[in-house]
Amino acid sequence: MRVVDEVALQTALAPFAASRPRVVVAGNFATPHAVLGCVDKALPSYRLFALNAQAGMPERAGVVHETPFVGPGVRHSARLDYLPARLSLVPRLFARTHAPDIVLLHTTVPRAGRISLGVEVNILPAAIESVRSRGGLVIAQLNPQMPWTYGDGELSTDLIDLGFEVDETLTSPVPRQPGELERVIGDRVSAFVEDGATLQLGIGGVPDATVSGLMGRRGLRIWTEMFSDGVLALESAGALDRDEQLVASFLFGSAELYAWVDGNPRVRMLRTEVTNDPGEIARHPRMTSVNGALQVDLFGQANASWAGGRIYSGFGGQSDFVVGALHAAGGVAVVALPSWHPKAGRSTIVAALDGPATSFQHSWVVTEQGAAAIWPASSRDQARNLIQVAHPDARQALQREATARGLLS
C-alpha cells in the first residue's frame, strides 16, 4: 500500500476517466466520503455500488447508483438501478455480472502490515478479491478513529493499492426511541425469545424495542447480519453468553458502541456469504430471527421492500435468516409490524401484497393486536389468525377478501 495525497490520488484515477467504471464503496455508516469525493471529481461518469447508502452520496448526471439494498441517500434518485438479490448472494454478483473496477474502503490505520475494515465487512472482501483479479484499484481511507474488529475484515496492506489519510469521527444514526406502539409489539416479540437463544434482529423500531424485553434473559447468543446499540444494552444487562462470540457482518450505532467493539475479541466480523448463509444460520439451536415488514398478506407473505409502487429498500438479509431460522432446531422466525399505517391510512395486513414478497412462511406475525401463528398452520388457519391481529377497522374487509379468495368459507 502506498499512502498518497489528493493530487496523487487524482492521478491514479485518471486512467479510469475515459471509461465508465464500476465503483464499489463501503455503505451504511462507513462510507469513506473523502475518498469518494476525490473519485467523483476525477470521473465524469461511473456506476456507484453501495449497500444502504446514507446521505451525502454523489447525485449528479453521470452517476448511476447500483444497489441490492436501497438506502435513504439514493432512494429518490432518478438514476437508481435496483438489483433484486438476497444479501447472501450479492458477493456472487462481483464474480459474474457486476465486477468492480475500483473498490473504496474505510479502514483503520495499519498495524504491523495489516488493516481492519472495522464496522463494515459485509460484501467488501468479495469485492476486493474480484477487483484484484481484474487488475483494478483498491483505495482505503485510513482513519485512526475506525475501531479495530477481528475476523474477515483483517487484511494485509498488500491487498490495498492506495491509502488516503483522514482523521474523522465515524457517523452514527440519529438516536430514535421506540414509540408506545413499537414497545407493545416489542414486548410481544420478546416472549418468543428463550434463554440461550441465538438472535438476529433486523433494522427498525420494532427490533430495537424487542431488546428492552430481553434484559432478563440469560445465555443469549448473537449471529446476525448487523447489530447496533441494543446488543451493547444486552451485554450491560448480563443477558449475553460471555463465553460465546458475537458474530455480525456490519454494525453501526453510537460512539459508545464503536468504543466497545474496538479490539473486543468477542466481536467477530465475518463476510456476508458466511453470516447470511441459511445453512450456517440453521446450525444454531433456537435461532430466533426478528424482522420488520411494510405489509403482510393473508397468505403469510411479507413485503419489506416496496412502498407506493416503487422500491423502498430490498431483500436484505431477511429471507436468508427466515429460512435459516426455520431450519434450525427450535428455531423461530418472527415478522413484526404495526397493524395500521397512519400516513397511508390503511391496514398493513392486506389481502394481497402491493409489491414482491420479501419473505414468507414465518413462524409468527406479530402486531400490537396479538401474534398470528403461521408455520405450521393450514392456509385457512393462517388467514384466520392474521385477520385477528389486523387492525379492528380492517377485519371485516379482510374477512370478505379471504372468503372471496377461498381462504375462508
Query: Is a pLDDT exceeding 90 seen at residue 409?
Result: no
Query: Is a pLDDT exceeding 80 seen at residue 203?
Result: no
Query: Is a pLDDT exceeding 80 seen at residue 67?
Result: yes
pLDDT band at 204 (very low <50, low <70, confident <90, very high): confident
Distance CA 21, CA 135 (A): 13
pLDDT band at 344 (very low <50, low <70, confident <90, very high): confident
Delimit the domains of the chain by residue range.
2-165, 180-404
**For position 396, what pLDDT does the model report?**
97
pLDDT band at 179 (very low <50, low <70, confident <90, very high): confident
Query: Is a pLDDT exceeding 90 seen at residue 128?
Result: yes
Distance CA 55, CA 355 (A): 26
Number of C-alpha atoms within 13 angstroms, CB side, residue 252? 21
pLDDT band at 28 (very low <50, low <70, confident <90, very high): very high
Residue corresponding to grid cell 462481483: 94
Query: Is a pLDDT exceeding 90 seen at residue 178?
Result: no
Distance CA 317, CA 49 (A): 17
Q: What is the pLDDT of residues 239-269, one digit of tens each?
A: 999 999 999 999 999 999 999 999 999 999 9
Q: What is the pLDDT of residues 349-394, one digit of tens each?
A: 999 998 899 999 999 999 999 999 999 999 999 999 999 999 999 9
DSSP structure string for 247-298:
EESEE---HHHHHHHTT-TTEEE--HHHHT-HHHHTTSTTEEEEEE-SEEET
CATH of the structural domain 180-404, one choice from 3.20.20.150, 3.40.1080.20, 3.40.50.1580, 2.30.30.100 = 3.40.1080.20
Domain spanning 2-165 has what CATH number?
A: 3.40.1080.10
Burial label for 59, CB within 10 Å (0-12, 13-18, 19+), is middle
Domains 2-165 and 180-404 share a fold: yes
Q: What is the pLDDT of residues 270-313, one digit of tens each?
A: 999 999 999 999 999 999 999 999 999 999 999 999 998 899 99
**For position 140, what pLDDT does the model report?**
98
Residue type, 39: V
Taking each helix axis from N to C end, the angle separating 180-190 and 205-212, rounded to the nearest 10 degrees, works out to 60
Distance CA 179, CA 395 (A): 24
Neighbours of 175 (CB within 10 A): 8
Query: Is a pLDDT exceeding 80 seen at residue 202?
Result: no
Distance CA 308, CA 246 (A): 37
Residue corresponding to grid cell 450505532: 253
The phi and psi torsions of 292 (rounded to 5 degrees) equal -100, 175
Burial label for 64, CB within 10 Å (0-12, 13-18, 19+), is middle
Query: Is a pLDDT exceeding 80 seen at residue 190?
Result: yes
Q: Is the dihedral of CA 354, 272, 182, 29 positive or negative?
A: negative
For residue 321, give the nearest of 87, 125, 91, 122 by alpha carbon: 87
Q: What is the end-to-end Cα distance of the chain in Å, rounded? A: 69
| Element at 46 (helix H, strand E) | strand 46-49
Among the listed residues 225, 273, 368, 401, the single catalytic one is 225
**For position 205, what pLDDT does the model report?**
78
Query: Is a pLDDT exceeding 90 seen at residue 144?
Result: yes
**For position 177, what pLDDT does the model report?**
80
Burial label for 79, CB within 10 Å (0-12, 13-18, 19+), is middle
Q: What is the pLDDT of residues 86-103, one digit of tens each?
A: 999 999 999 999 999 999
Percent of the chain with pLDDT over 90: 93
Q: Is 225 designated active site?
A: yes
Query: Is a pLDDT exceeding 90 seen at residue 62?
Result: yes
Query: Is a pLDDT exceeding 90 seen at residue 209?
Result: no
Letter string b/e over residues 150-164, b meaning 16 or more CB atoms within 10 A of that residue's CB: bbbbbbebebbbbbb
**For position 263, what pLDDT does the model report?**
98
| Element at 91 (helix H, strand E) | helix 90-95
Neighbours of 285 (CB within 10 A): 13
pLDDT band at 176 (very low <50, low <70, confident <90, very high): confident
